[in-house]
Structure 1
Amino acid sequence: MPTLTMLAGEINDAHQEVQRHAKGMLLEAKRAGEALLAVKKEIPHGQFKAWVEANCSVSYDTAKEYMRVAKGCVT
């Protein structure tokens, strides 16, 4: 049976991994958001949503969240 000290170590190790993955997730969301913002500048007004739906494997709502991350507007 694990001791409390061993369990604390496991908890702390797991927490560090969560933090590492969260940072990586945010970096990838920012990368996607930056690309989406670049596309949005190139596409005629009013056609961005249709472009995302036709060309991307993410929903339009997710695309908007990625762009918010890229702009630094995450709450």
Structure 2
Amino acid sequence: MSQLNNPLEVYKLLPKSNCKLCGMATCLAFADLVIKGQKRFGECPHLESQIIEEVDSKIIKQMAPEEQLK
């Protein structure tokens, strides 16, 4: 598996149940926050620990425009 650098790549690995147990309304919204570094991939309660360990290190978090200017 290559590195993940956009929300859709992360979303494809989620259950797409929109269960809201992670605190977000949809799995896509959760994936977006994972890429932004505001949520951890492992905060999805439906993922197995093996998948979390495999994927977590491959996520490239995007910096907010304000952070890029620093």
TM-score range, shorter chain: under 0.3
TM-score (structure 1 length as normaliser)? 0.26
Whichever structure has more helix as a proportion of its residues is: 1
Higher relative contact order (CA 8 A, sep 6+): 1
The structure whose Rg is larger is 1
